[in-house]
Each structure stands twice: as C-alpha cells, then as structure tokens.
Amino acid sequence: MSEATIQYANFDHRTIGTIRGIKTNDVVQFLGIKYASLRHWFDNPALCSYDGTGIVCDRLGQQTISLPEAVDHELDAIQKRIEKPEYPGISGTECLNLNVVVPAGARSSNGIPVLVYIHGGGFSVGANWWPQFDMKRIVQLSVHLGTPIIGFMTSEELRMAGYKPNRGLHDQIVALQWVQKYIAGFGGDPSQVTVAGESVGGPVRLMYTEKALASRIVVMGGSPPSVPPLTYEVTEIAYKSIIEAWSLDKLSTTERLESLENSSTWAQHSQIRGLPLLPVFDNDLVPYRESFELIASGDYTFKAKQFEGAMIVYSPLDASIFAFMGLFSHRKSVADEFATHLRTKFGKDNDTAEQLLKLYGISPDLENQDVLLRVLEFGSDIGNEAAARVLAKRLPGDVFLMQFSEPNPWDGPFKGRSTHILDVAFLFQNFNDHLNETQQASAVRFATDVITFACGKKPWEPLSTVQGTSILKDGRQQSVKGDRAFSERYRELVKIAALIDMDSLLNAWTSFVFAA
C-alpha cells in the first residue's frame, strides 16, 4: 500500500489519548503498539504506560532478533506464498509490540469480546507482521513475543542477576495484562478475552497462573505433552555454549552481563542457532514436566481464575512442520534409520517396533518421501491427536475438540494432506483468493466457529456432553461421537499404547525427530 493510498483514522482512547491508525474497508488497524519495554534484549518485560497525549500506530512493529527470512519459510510450510508487507526490521528492545484491529464504528463503550492471537514458530521464529497473520478479515489482536534466545536463554548466573527464566512466557502475560488494562478503551471487553495460539504458541501454560488473563483459549496444532519443557541442567549447557561462541567465557560476571547487553545483532545470534532454547521447568510459569501420565492424573491441575472453556484443534498431518524444518534432510534412508531407532528404543524382545512399522506400512523398499510421510503420520498421531485428546479431557469448563481435515490445496510435498499451520491460514481468511468455493466455505466456517466460541457461545456440543469430535472437511462440519472419530490406524495405535504406554511412544517419536 503506497503512502498516497493509505487512509488514516484517529481513535480517542480514554487513557492513551488520540491514536492514529489505518482504516481498511470496515476495520481500523492500530499497528506496532508497544506493550512492554526492555532496557536490553534479555531484560524482564515491563508493562508500558502512557501519558495521555496519544500515539501513532500506523506502521508495523519491529520483530525480535530472529531469522529475517523465516516468514518465507513458514509460507513454504503452508505451501502458498502471498504478498508480504514491507519488512519492519529487527530490534532487541523495541520488539514487544502488538496489533489491534477494531470495527470501524467501535467506541470505548461497546464491550466487544476480544480475540488475542499468539504466533507459533518453535520458540525460535515468528512475528505479528507476517501476512498470514494479517487481521483485516477477522477482527482481533495479535501479539509479538521475544524468541528464541531473547525469551528463553537462562542460567544460574542470569537468575542470580534478577533475570527471570521463561521471559518469552512472561511476554505473553505482560501482553495480556496490557489487554486487561487498555483494551476497554478500544471498545473491547476485558472480561471476555479469548487467547488463540498455534503450535508452541498454544496458550495452555497461561492456565498455570492464577492471574485472570483469559476467559477461554484456542489451542491449534500443538499441545502438551508434545513439547515438554527443558531442565535447568540443559539450559545451563546452552548458556555455556552461547558465552563460549561469543568469547565471553573468560570475563567476570559483571563484564559478561555488560557484554551480553550489547550482543544484539542478528549476525551474533545466528551463530548460536540450534541450541536448546525452550521453556524451562521453573516451578512457576512452568510448574510441570508434562507427560501423558501426568496430564491424565489428578496431579495435573490449573490455577487460572474465571476460565470458561477451550477449543482444541489438531490436523491429521500436523507433524509436516518437522519436514519443512529440515530435520529429516540429513537422513539417507528414513526407513532403515527409523526401524533401527524403534528396535533400539524398545529392545529386541519387545515387538512394539515391529507393530509400529507394520501399522504405518514402513519398509526399506519404499521411496524416502513415501516413508517420510508415514513417519510423519506416526508423529502426528502421537504428538498431536493423542496429545489433544488427553488434554481435552482434563481442561475445565466447556471443551470443544476439532479435527481440521481440510486438505492442503497447493502444490508441494504434502498437497492433499491436512498440514500444520493450514488451520491458521484458513482461520484468518488471508488465503481465500487462492481457495475454491468449497475451501472458502471451510475457512468461513472455521472462523465462524472460533468467533462463536470467543463470544461465549457453543459452536457445537462440548466434549463433556457428547464425548465427540467436530471434523471440518470439504466445507462442512460433522460432529462424530465417541471413538467413531478415530481412524482405524489411530485405534490400533491406542491398542499398542495400552501394552506399553503413550509416553514411551511419544519419546520414540521426539528422540528420532530431534536426533542429531
């Protein structure tokens, strides 16, 4: 959009003052609103305040220190590139920003339910300026978080200096505190906040805090226990690797922290890509090392107040994202290596490996791409569907379980399969011009269901009432009761798990996909 064609709009916020945004069709966008301040890139986030003189919000905010080309990589995972806005740049301190979209006629007295979106990206990439998250077609608010090293680097040295672990999760909390404090001035209702997230952006861990931050959550494409947190022992090793890579290991603590504050370029951060920088078990924001066994037990509880319910969404080939991440590119024979891995994992006297290989039809005479697809089916079944189902049974309130089965319509390695991130592409309506009428109907239906849920209504009967799953496919939603929603393959996987356990199967998957 050229400067000449931009239509600006002013909005009077009772606390912030006059805010300048951009009017597009029937909505007004307020872009790059700074919600938290940082003194340096690994600082604890501090909620922003305003002096009442107003702010200008007509430019997308800068992204955190992360791979600039990652936007294209995620579009490739969707298998369809769309037009991108101008790249807003990188910052280690000005990256905690959010975008707010409101109806053009909104007033501070409207009390509109609020939908907040938190991007995924494996805690390593992601930004709210990416075109797949453009909010013009579904009114909501999207948050930019600190990732990966900026949000999850921790060590005893840093904690002793006052820097909290899991700062990327603290970013989420501060962003939602901003919503509670300021969204009413945009016409939003802070008592009706739904937080949606994709993959590792899934907002389940917000349920572990007592703070009343959200009424409802929408979890898409990833939920505990699929990515368990790290231990402090692992993060200590990662921290040591960082300071050695940056030649800071010989400095005193004071000198090292001062040097770290100035290490804020992408060139520096790109040197330490691949290190384990994820949420860590801290007995605070992350009080559990989630597992199937733990989640199914009475020891797994939630502290969140005023929580009303959840929508859990999974796709039959959610694990496709691991192929796009290049985690299989070094494997010469996926079939041989996967078979060897399973046999080693389960032992020669256990027939679990042979049962799994037979169930997924994996044999060395198949082409590598065919085997990869079958391995990803296993990963999706255990890491996504099984995880979604066990979590859905434990969440309080009304829980709605959905299988997003719309096939990917675009050319690529997984055309015709229900892939990771495709649900987000359909939800935000930004790919509708590239969909046929049936696919557009699915996109509209999915968005309608999410909005219905965010408004506190039931998009279909909850799990507690019918013990069923909503399946969205070919423009239609079908509610299927009980295990009739299971594929025959998934039924057999459950039988295998009954003889060994779900956690062992999940570990077999994750230890293979993340093997060096």
- Residue 23 falls inside a structural domain: yes
User: pLDDT digits over 164-173, tens only?
Assistant: 999 988 998 9
Q: In whole angstroms, what is the distance from residue 326 CA to residue 330 CA?
A: 8
**Does residue 19 contact residue 91 with C-beta atoms inside 8 Å?**
no
- Residue 237 falls inside a structural domain: yes
State the pLDDT at residue 420. Answer: 94
- Residue 261 falls inside a structural domain: yes
Q: In whole angstroms, what is the distance from residue 193 CA to residue 455 CA?
A: 9
State the pLDDT at residue 305. Answer: 78
Assigned token pair, 374: 């079958």
Residuewise pLDDT in 10s, the chain (516 residues) = 555 578 999 999 999 999 999 998 888 999 999 999 999 989 999 999 999 999 999 999 998 888 888 888 888 989 999 899 899 998 889 989 999 998 887 777 678 889 998 887 555 555 665 666 665 655 556 664 545 457 889 999 999 999 999 998 899 899 999 999 999 999 999 999 999 988 765 788 888 888 878 999 999 998 889 888 999 999 999 999 999 999 999 999 999 999 999 887 777 878 887 788 889 999 999 999 999 999 999 899 988 878 899 999 999 999 999 998 877 778 889 999 999 999 999 987 689 999 999 999 999 999 999 999 999 999 999 999 999 999 999 999 999 999 999 999 999 999 999 999 999 999 989 999 999 999 999 999 999 999 999 999 999 999 988 888 999 999 999 999 888 889 999 999 999 999 999 999 999 999 999 875
* Angstrom distances, CA of residue 330 to CA of 66, 325, 380, 420: 24, 12, 21, 22
- Residue 406 falls inside a structural domain: no
Nearest to 116 by CA among 98, 137, 132: 98
- Residue 96 falls inside a structural domain: yes
State the pLDDT at residue 355. Answer: 97
- Residue 72 falls inside a structural domain: yes
CA angle 314/315/316 to nearest 5° reads 125
**Does residue 132 contact residue 425 with C-beta atoms inside 8 Å?**
yes
Residues 6 or more apart in contact with residue 466 via CB below 8 angstroms: 479, 481
What CATH number should be reported for the domain holding residue 166?
3.40.50.1820
Residue with tokens 């680097």: 153
State the pLDDT at residue 127. Answer: 64
Residue with tokens 């905010």: 61
Residue 340 exposure: Cα atoms within 13 Å on the Cβ side: 8
CA angle 140/223/338 to nearest 5° reads 135
Residue with tokens 């039959």: 316
CA angle 479/480/486 to nearest 5° reads 135
Domain housing 16 = 1-201+232-275
DSSP 8-class letter at 53: S
Torsion over CA: 357, 362, 368, 370 (sign): negative
* Angstrom distances, CA of residue 513 to CA of 188, 277, 328, 416: 42, 17, 7, 23
- Residue 12 falls inside a structural domain: yes
Assigned token pair, 507: 């570990």
Q: Is-cis flag, bond preceding 462, omega within 30?
A: no
Nearest to 168 by CA among 118, 214, 129: 118
Q: How many domains does the chain have?
A: 1
φ, ψ of residue 120 to 5 degrees: the values are: -90, -150
CA angle 419/421/424 to nearest 5° reads 125
Q: Is the pTM of this model over 0.75?
A: yes
State the pLDDT at residue 66. Answer: 82
Residue with tokens 């009428």: 437
Assigned token pair, 191: 């008592």
Of the chain, the end-to-end C-alpha distance in Å amounts to 44
Nearest to 211 by CA among 290, 285, 288: 285
- Residue 216 falls inside a structural domain: no
